[in-house]
Structure 1
Amino acid sequence: MLIYGANGYTGELITRYAVERGMRPIIAGRNETAIRALAEKHGLGHRVFSLDETAKLDAALNEVAMVLHCAGPFSMTSRQMGEACLRTKTHYTDITGEIAVFEACAAADGKAKDAGIMIMPGVGFDVVPSDCLARHLKDRLPTATDLTLAFYGIGRMSHGTQATMTMNIGNGGAVRREGKIMPVPAAWRTREIDFGEGVVKTGVTIPWGDVSTAFYSTGIPNIEVYTVAPRSAVKMMKLSRYLGPLLSTRPIQRYLQSKIPPGGPTDEERAKGKTLLWGEVSDEAGGRVEARMECPEGYTTTALAALNIAEKILAGNFLPGFQTPARAYGADLILELDGTVRENITANG
């Protein structure tokens, strides 16, 4: 296995967890100093190249059965890595949450099948827990036509995650209607979400990856995703409806990116954190079911979920073509991670 972007916050965490599980990945990235230091720390082989260096990229992929791509923003990096995987017949996974990346990967389904490889973007917190919850709800109500998901992350974001969010701040929101992804204004809707145990929060719609992936996992044509955000963040999202073009300009982006603190949560902060999820499906006859889920803090979930899927692929457990986590491995995939619990809520109708 090749871990590309291993020196980023999440990539480094995944590398550490991989070694603790007895895995011996080759790590790679553009920053020679950082990659070499990380390789020496864990006694791993390493490669240094940018994604523009096609010969080096292909050579590295030809050494392994799969890549775990951790270098975002994935809207700027996934195409090159994905095309290289098709050329070298190497399984592709990444930790994206970007709708455009999921859709581009879905469009490569035929090419991936021809190459005999699996393409599975979103093997981390984006979107394994929510994808599995969506599939679980669909299994409980096979006639479902509408899906609503929500999550509440208790913990701190990494520099990379904040950088990607900042880059997309002027792009508005997205939902799925009648099977089609539709643009909507940022912070389009809000609603109260009961995450259980007295935790009731106001959620706001966001263009989360499940707007793409849950459709492939469930076939449900109408999908919305909510998250809990501070009031200041919701105000900024609504403001971006009018200032989107300005916020997307290079000078403003440079300024906003410069204000993002480096690094991410400490091990202690991650241990204290957790993520709560809620989902609901309904059908045209008035049937409705709900479920809740709790899983480890987001970055911990990303590392554990990505490596769990990597181990399956390396053991030969994969489906050729574009796949989502729950479509390939079922709704209970997320329950394989320690610290994850799921609760069904009484159905109405």
Structure 2
Amino acid sequence: MSSNFLLYGANGYTGTLIARLAVRQGLRPILAGRNSEKLQPLATSLGLEHRAFSLEDESTVDAALNDVTAVLHCAGPFSRTSKPMVEGCLRTKTHYLDITGEVAVFEAIAAKDAEATKAGVMLLPGVGFDVVPSDCLAAHLKRQLPSATSLSLAFTAGQTSRGTATTIVEAQKQGGLVRRGGVLTPVPTAWKTRTIDFGEGPVLGTTLPWGDVSTAFYSTGIPNIEVYMATPPSTYWALVASRYLGWLLGSPPMQSLQKRLIQAQPPGPTDAQRQQGKTRLWGEVSDDGATKVSRLQCPEGYTLTALTALAIVTKVLAGQVSVGFQTPSKVYGADLILEIEGVERLDINNG
């Protein structure tokens, strides 16, 4: 087996960012995806090998994975694509990484823990934003208050790519999700709000079913978890309205219309927007008598995803793996995020 990795979904917005950054860092990923015609121009421009294959054919998947150490899976929506890729990695004993933020995907992969351990394979979904910075922040807060029974996380979001927008559209009818007593618990969309200071003054935050509702529990063991996104009032009220329109938004004609509109938009933030952008995160843990609060300031979200994904790929290629289902902070510690250039962490201890 080589010390190389396969980047599946390389021709997508985030996959392309990762491929280009990988080459600048001296890595030589094998670019992969469904469509050779879309892959070839990128592979040629970067001087990289490319492989085109569908995830539906097990033998083709196995042939593509047999000679690589790890897969970095970037082709969403992961609710449809992660299962066949994970199963291929288990069959070929290939370490699996992806950039999902979907709770159902994390839970499905967590259920493969025993199988992965037996195969000697690490399954590490969520190596981008979401969930590396928030997972590391959760673990850092747990380290400050080991007795914590409640965790709240929050983040600011910028412009989304077509792939991210498509995932959001497909999830519209699912409602909200929190963790209560260690159990994933459905709640209405935009169930709760709170005022959050990310370091630039208080803003409105609204609950949403972000990936950390799943992963932070595995990382910290904290039984009660909520995740918030900074939300303008107009967006909040649109989310509230979606409680009553979910049946319509989730209907095939409306799904098709929304996806056509997405495809008419730019593929994602421009280089200038990414260079100027910042991602801010906030976290709070508490028990019956104490509270700890910390913040993170990071590069723009898609830039951050490329940086964290490749930082973890580099560790995997160097043999730094823990078999079974993992989260970023479980394998590499709460300070992993501080290895990324441009990240700052601030503790605000409230007693």
TM-score range, shorter chain: over 0.9
Q: Which of the numbers 112, 117, 135 marks the counterpart of 2:116?
A: 112
Q: Say if 2:204 and 2:233, in contact at 8 Å, map to a contact too.
A: no
State how far apart, in whole Å, the 1-side matches of 2:182 and 2:253 are. Answer: 37
- Once the two structures are TM-superposed, the CA of residue 55 in structure 1 deviates from its matched residue by 1.6
- Correspondence 1:342 to 2:337: no
Q: Say if 2:291 and 2:349, in contact at 8 Å, map to a contact too.
A: no
Q: Say if 1:149 and 1:277, in contact at 8 Å, map to a contact too.
A: yes
- Once the two structures are TM-superposed, the CA of residue 228 in structure 1 deviates from its matched residue by 1.1
- Correspondence 1:193 to 2:192: no
Residue matched to 1:165:
168
- Once the two structures are TM-superposed, the CA of residue 244 in structure 1 deviates from its matched residue by 1.1
State how far apart, in whole Å, the 1-side matches of 2:349 and 2:221 are. Answer: 23
One-letter code aligned to 2:255: Q
- Correspondence 1:5 to 2:9: yes
Q: Give the share of equivalent positions with the same residue, in percent.
A: 60
- Correspondence 1:321 to 2:324: yes
Within-5 A mapping of 1:127-276: 127-153=131-157, 155-196=158-199, 198-260=200-262, 261-276=265-280
The runs of 5 or more residues in structure 1 that have no matched partner are none
- Correspondence 1:89 to 2:93: yes
One-letter code aligned to 2:192: R
State how far apart, in whole Å, the 1-side matches of 2:231 and 2:54 are. Answer: 35
State how far apart, in whole Å, the 2-side matches of 1:131 and 1:186 are. Answer: 23
- Once the two structures are TM-superposed, the CA of residue 54 in structure 1 deviates from its matched residue by 1.9
State how far apart, in whole Å, the 2-side matches of 1:244 and 1:195 are. Answer: 30
Residue matched to 2:46:
42
One-letter code aligned to 1:31: N
One-letter code aligned to 1:207: P
My pick for the range that moved more, 224-233 or 29-38, is 224-233
Q: Say if 2:182 and 2:217, in contact at 8 Å, map to a contact too.
A: yes
- Once the two structures are TM-superposed, the CA of residue 257 in structure 1 deviates from its matched residue by 1.1
State how far apart, in whole Å, the 2-side matches of 1:237 and 1:87 are. Answer: 41
1:104 is paired with a residue of what secondary structure?
helix
- Once the two structures are TM-superposed, the CA of residue 242 in structure 1 deviates from its matched residue by 1.2
Within-5 A mapping of 1:269-308: 269-284=273-288, 286-308=289-311
1:63 is paired with a residue of what secondary structure?
coil
1:164 is paired with a residue of what secondary structure?
helix
Moved over 6 A (4+): none
Q: Which of the numbers 39, 55, 70 marks the counterpart of 1:66?
A: 70
- Once the two structures are TM-superposed, the CA of residue 337 in structure 1 deviates from its matched residue by 0.2
Q: Say if 1:169 and 1:237, in contact at 8 Å, map to a contact too.
A: no
One-letter code aligned to 2:269: P
State how far apart, in whole Å, the 1-side matches of 2:108 and 2:173 are. Answer: 21
Residue matched to 1:51:
55
- Once the two structures are TM-superposed, the CA of residue 104 in structure 1 deviates from its matched residue by 0.5
- Once the two structures are TM-superposed, the CA of residue 199 in structure 1 deviates from its matched residue by 2.8
State how far apart, in whole Å, the 1-side matches of 2:233 and 2:169 are. Answer: 17
- Once the two structures are TM-superposed, the CA of residue 233 in structure 1 deviates from its matched residue by 2.6
Q: Say if 2:184 and 2:214, in contact at 8 Å, map to a contact too.
A: yes
TM-score, with length taken from structure 2: 0.97
TM-score, with length taken from structure 1: 0.97
- Once the two structures are TM-superposed, the CA of residue 247 in structure 1 deviates from its matched residue by 1.1
2:55 is paired with a residue of what secondary structure?
coil
State how far apart, in whole Å, the 2-side matches of 1:229 and 1:3 are. Answer: 33
State how far apart, in whole Å, the 1-side matches of 2:234 and 2:86 are. Answer: 37
State how far apart, in whole Å, the 1-side matches of 2:165 and 2:217 are. Answer: 26
- Once the two structures are TM-superposed, the CA of residue 234 in structure 1 deviates from its matched residue by 1.9
Give CA deviations for 1:227-269 in whole Å, capped at 9, x if unaligned.
0123333222211211112211111000111111131011111
2:82 is paired with a residue of what secondary structure?
helix
State how far apart, in whole Å, the 1-side matches of 2:102 and 2:51 are. Answer: 27
State how far apart, in whole Å, the 1-side matches of 2:80 and 2:236 are. Answer: 26
Say how many residue pairs are matched.
345
One-letter code aligned to 1:312: K
State how far apart, in whole Å, the 1-side matches of 2:233 and 2:66 are. Answer: 48
1:105 is paired with a residue of what secondary structure?
helix
2:315 is paired with a residue of what secondary structure?
helix
